[in-house]
C-alpha cells in the first residue's frame, strides 16, 4: 500500500470510528485529515483533499470545534478561516465521564427498585465497574495535568 493509500485508509477509519460517537462520517474524515496535516488547512483545501463540499466541511469543522477537537484560526482582513486539530482529548474524556456518571446513577437507582437480590447484586456490580472506569480515567487526567 502506498503512503497516500495508507493516509486515505486512516482518514476513512477515523470517519467510521467517529460515527460510533454519533458524529457524521464527514466529521470523522475531516478530523482524520486535520490530524495528518502538519499545518492548518482552509475549508477549500480540506474539501478538495476529501472530496467533500465546502458546506459539508464547514459543518464538520463546527462539530469538531464544539467537541474541542479542532480550532479555527481567523485570517486578518478576510472571512477565510484556517483549521487545525487541537488536543481536545481531555474535554472528550471529561464529557465521556460525565455521561458515564449519569449512567452509574441510573444503575444505582435501578438497584433500589430491583425486587430480587440477584438483580440488585448485578446492578451494583455493573455500576461499580463503570464507576471504576471513571475513577481510573479521572486519575489519568490528573496525572496528565501535572
pTM above 0.85, yes or no: no
State the average pLDDT for the chain.
Answer: 90
pLDDT tens across 39-81, in order? Answer: 999 999 999 999 999 999 999 999 999 888 899 999 888 888 9
How far apart are the C-alpha atoms of 86 and 96, rounded to whole Å? 18
Taking each helix axis from N to C terminus, what angle separates 3-19 and 25-36, rounded to the nearest 10 degrees? 140
Amino acid at each position: 500500500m502506498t503512503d497516500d493509500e495508507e493516509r486515505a485508509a486512516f482518514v476513512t477509519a477515523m470517519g467510521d470510528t467517529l460515527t460510533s460517537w454519533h458524529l457524521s462520517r464527514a466529521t470523522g474524515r475531516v478530523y482524520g485529515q486535520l490530524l495528518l496535516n502538519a499545518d492548518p488547512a482552509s475549508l477549500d483545501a480540506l474539501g478538495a483533499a476529501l472530496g467533500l463540499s465546502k458546506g459539508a466541511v464547514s459543518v464538520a469543522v463546527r462539530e469538531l470545534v464544539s467537541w474541542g477537537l479542532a480550532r479555527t484560526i481567523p485570517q486578518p482582513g478576510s472571512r477565510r478561516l484556517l483549521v487545525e486539530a487541537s488536543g481536545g482529548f481531555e474535554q472528550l474524556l471529561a464529557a465521556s465521564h460525565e455521561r458515564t456518571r449519569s449512567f452509574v446513577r441510573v444503575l444505582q437507582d435501578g438497584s433500589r427498585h430491583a425486587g430480587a437480590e440477584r438483580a440488585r447484586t448485578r446492578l451494583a456490580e455493573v455500576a461499580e465497574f463503570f464507576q471504576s472506569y471513571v475513577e481510573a480515567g479521572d486519575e489519568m487526567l490528573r496525572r496528565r495535568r501535572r
